[in-house]
């Protein structure tokens, strides 16, 4: 799992604001997935991107969006923040889409006040 980086580490936002989270996968990995982890729960799948295309989407509202860049890094955007969006946002990197090992980054801790 070494090599997946995320920024920022922590973020505090106010309700209604917008946030952008960033992820860089392990070198050579072409797939990035985003997960939301609420305290005391397992990660919940938000998006998967492979070769810059969305390959999967979890049960999250349209306020959540993402994209992947030509260098395989990715951004997760959340609009109109709600208190319930407070969570640890994890990025996972894998070689390709499909049943390949996913390695997580350290996460971004988002607090919405």
> Interface residues for other proteins in 75-94 (CB under 8 A)?
90, 92, 94
Q: Is 85 helix (H, G, I), strand (E, B) or coil?
A: helix
- Residue 72 is a binding residue for other proteins (CB under 8 A): no
Q: Are 26 and 36 in contact (CB under 8 A)?
A: no
Of 10-18, 21-29, 30-38, 68-76: span binding other proteins (CB under 8 A): 30-38
Kindly state whether residue 44 participates in binding other proteins, applying the rule CB under 8 A. Answer: yes
Tokens for 12, please give them: 């505090």
Q: How far is CA 20 from CA 27, 57, 64, in A?
A: 22, 18, 10
Taking the complex as a whole, the smallest distance from the CB of residue 11 to other proteins amounts, in Å, to 16
Pick the closer one to other proteins by CB: 74 or 102: 102
Residue 79 Cα distances to 16, 28, 82, 89, 95, angstroms: 7, 31, 9, 15, 29
Comparison of 13 and 58: residue with beta carbon closer to other proteins: 58
- Binder of other proteins out of 7, 82, 100, 111 (CB under 8 A): 100
Residue 41 touching other proteins (CB under 8 A):
yes
CA geometry: angle 22, 24, 27, nearest 5 deg: 175
Give the residues lining the site for other proteins (CB under 8 A).
1, 4, 31, 33, 35, 40-45, 48, 50, 55-56, 58, 90, 92, 94, 97-107
């Amino acid at each position: 799992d070494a090599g997946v980086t995320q920024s920022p580490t922590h973020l505090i936002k106010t309700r209604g604001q917008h946030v952008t989270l960033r992820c860089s996968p392990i070198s050579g990995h072409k797939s990035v997935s985003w997960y939301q982890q609420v305290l005391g729960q397992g990660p919940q799948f938000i998006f998967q991107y492979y070769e810059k295309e969305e390959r999967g989407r979890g049960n999250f509202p349209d306020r959540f969006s993402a994209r992947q860049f030509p260098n395989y890094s990715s951004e997760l955007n959340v609009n109109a923040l709600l208190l319930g969006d407070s969570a640890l946002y994890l990025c996972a990197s894998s070689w390709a889409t499909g049943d390949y090992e996913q390695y997580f980054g350290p996460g971004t801790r988002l607090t919405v006040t």
